[in-house]
């Protein structure tokens, strides 16, 4: 992959490009479904907000826990066989999810997607690693990172017109189609990377996990940074229902959610360069200060509405006050992610015992597992308490609600404190920041004692 002069190039083996093409379709499928999942579970399947929160929590959380085991299986059976199995499960899961709206089959469909999706992350990232040498590894992963964001962006962009023109279930059918295309690409083009018989056994994987869980210093960092991702996860858990219930069906939560990856793609490289000399924990601390401010910004929409009325004018166009504050809040989330994502792995690796960095790095995603499990379940209770399903309002209150969406009446009392939801998440973020400061103080004292 280097030229005759030894210069770096952007040329990689065909398997690398095939793997990234597969990732593009898989991410488009997943994020199209994921941005609509909370709505789908309530509107189409009939789960309450609380029930939908728990279902989504277990699905999203364990999707990040599954690679602990699916990665070991993929190493044993080979990447190509594992990818064929994964996309067969994903295509089946999305199809069932869109075709049959019953609670038992919905749970089954989500389980199939969970298991199939659990294979993708370790296999594709493993393919990227194995199809690039050490000198080109950074370039290979920069391409991979961009492909992930492009797929996620496209999936959410298409989700809104599908929801408005055809209905929520067709988003799931779209995801099934994207997964089937990826399945065909694997069968026709993916050349196996020889991993059969390699990697850890499941028993070794479990033993490694138990060892990591006993490391208080490492788990402390996992729990603290989970506070960041609890707020970030509300793009999918709370924001879609909140936007549609408070703004109306014309709201675009799918497109609003895309502000986050857009900011990350534009700013992550310059911000990483800006903080390159800063200690990693300092960069993480900046992220943990910004992320609660993002939730706080969204909570201030009633204040803006008192000033601007039902619409904020920008000359050629106007936006609902809640839309304006969502744009600001989600933009701040993207900014915060630019500070935490590049430096988190660096800082976490330093918390691992000497000689065990590789093993510990495999469990970095545990913070997202915890965050999704906690954040989605909390979301259901908060929505039910402060921003309930309008379909469950009494007829006279529902009429008032419909008039309120057009600015012709005040919102029913049930929605007067809807912005309190974001106070809760802001509090979680500020608490995580304080915990990080305490963590930094304690670990630095521990390190100084070791040097004495």
Do residues 232 and 60 make contact, with C-beta atoms less than 8 angstroms apart? no
The reply to whether the predicted model has a pTM over 0.75 is yes
Q: What is the mean pLDDT of residues 42-54?
A: 97
Helix 14-43 / helix 168-189 crossing angle, nearest 10 deg? 160
Q: Residue 391, Cβ neighbours under 10 Å: how many?
A: 8
| Structure confidence at residue 355 (pLDDT) | 61
Contacts of 369 (CB under 8 A, 6+ apart): 61, 62, 64, 65
Structure letter (DSSP) for residue 196: T
Report the mean per-residue pLDDT for the chain.
89
Strands 318-319 and 312-313, how do they pair? antiparallel
Q: What percent of the chain has pLDDT over 90?
A: 65
More confident call, 159 vs 450: 159
**H or E element, residue 187:** helix 168-189
Domain 10-199 has CATH 3.40.50.620: no
Among 8-12, 188-192, 213-217, 256-260, the least confident range = 8-12
Evaluate if residue 108 carries a pLDDT over 60.
yes
Do residues 34 and 26 make contact, with C-beta atoms less than 8 angstroms apart? no
Residues 317-354 have pLDDT tens digits of 999 999 999 999 999 999 999 999 767 877 776 776 76
| Structure confidence at residue 354 (pLDDT) | 67
Q: What is the mean pLDDT of residues 294-310?
A: 95
Evaluate if residue 197 carries a pLDDT over 60.
no
| Structure confidence at residue 4 (pLDDT) | 44
Same fold, 10-199 and 207-452: yes
| Residue 271 to residues 14, 124, 278, Cα–Cα distance (Å) | 32, 27, 11
The CA-based angle 115-121-123, given to 5 degrees, is: 95
Residue from 80, 40, 280 nearest 170 by CA: 40
| Structure confidence at residue 362 (pLDDT) | 66
**H or E element, residue 374:** helix 366-386
- 363 pLDDT band, cuts 50/70/90, is confident
More confident call, 147 vs 28: 28
Distance between CA 125 and CA 356 in Å, rounded?
A: 20
Evaluate if residue 1 carries a pLDDT over 60.
no
Q: Could you say which of 1.20.1250.20, 3.20.20.70, 3.30.365.10, 3.30.70.20 is the CATH number of the domain covering 207-452?
A: 1.20.1250.20
Domain borders along the chain are 10-199, 207-452
């Amino acid at each position: 992959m280097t030229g005759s002069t030894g210069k770096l190039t952007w040329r990689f083996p065909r398997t690398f490009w095939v793997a990234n093409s597969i990732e593009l379709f898989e991410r488009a499928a997943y994020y199209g479904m994921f941005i609509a999942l909370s709505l789908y579970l309530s509107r189409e399947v009939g789960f309450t907000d609380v029930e939908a929160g728990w279902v989504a929590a277990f699905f999203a959380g364990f999707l990040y826990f599954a690679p602990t085991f699916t990665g070991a299986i993929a190493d044993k059976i080979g990447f190509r066989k594992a990818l064929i199995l994964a996309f067969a499960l994903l295509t089946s899961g999305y199809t069932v999810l869109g075709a049959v709206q019953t609670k038992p089959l919905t749970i089954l469909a989500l389980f199939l997607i969970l298991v199939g999706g659990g294979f993708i992350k370790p296999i594709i990232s493993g393919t990227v690693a194995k199809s690039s040498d050490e000198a080109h590894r950074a370039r290979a992963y920069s391409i991979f990172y961009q492909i992930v964001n492009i797929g996620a962006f496209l999936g959410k962009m298409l989700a809104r017109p599908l929801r408005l023109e055809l209905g929520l279930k067709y988003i799931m059918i779209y995801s099934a189609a994207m997964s089937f295309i990826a399945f065909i690409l694997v069968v026709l083009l993916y050349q196996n990377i020889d991993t059969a018989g390699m990697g850890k056994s499941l028993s070794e994987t479990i033993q490694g996990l138990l060892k990591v869980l006993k490391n208080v210093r490492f788990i402390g960092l996992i729990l603290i940074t989970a506070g960041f991702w609890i707020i970030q996860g509300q793009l999918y858990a709370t924001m879609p229902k909140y936007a549609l219930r408070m703004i109306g069906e014309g709201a675009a939560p799918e497109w609003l959610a895309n502000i986050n990856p857009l900011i990350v793609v534009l700013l992550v490289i310059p911000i990483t360069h800006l903080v390159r000399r800063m200690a990693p924990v300092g960069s993480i601390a900046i992220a943990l200060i910004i992320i609660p401010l993002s939730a706080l910004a969204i909570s201030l929409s009633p204040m803006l509405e008192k000033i601007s009325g039902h619409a904020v004018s920008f000359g050629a166009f106007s936006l609902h006050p809640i839309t304006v504050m969502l744009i600001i809040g989600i933009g701040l989330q993207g900014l915060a992610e630019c500070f935490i994502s590049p430096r988190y792995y660096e800082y976490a690796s330093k918390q691992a015992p000497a000689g065990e960095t590789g093993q510990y790095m495999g469990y970095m995603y545990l913070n997202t597992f915890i965050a999704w499990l906690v954040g989605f379940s909390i979301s259901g209770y908060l929505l039910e308490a402060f921003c309930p399903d309008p379909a469950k309002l009494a007829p006279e209150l529902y009429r008032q609600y419909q008039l309120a969406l057009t600015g012709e009446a005040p919102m029913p009392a049930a929605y007067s404190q809807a912005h309190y939801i974001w106070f809760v998440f802001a509090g979680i973020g500020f608490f995580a920041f304080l915990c990080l400061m305490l963590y930094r103080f304690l670990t630095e004292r521990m390190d100084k004692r070791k040097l004495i």
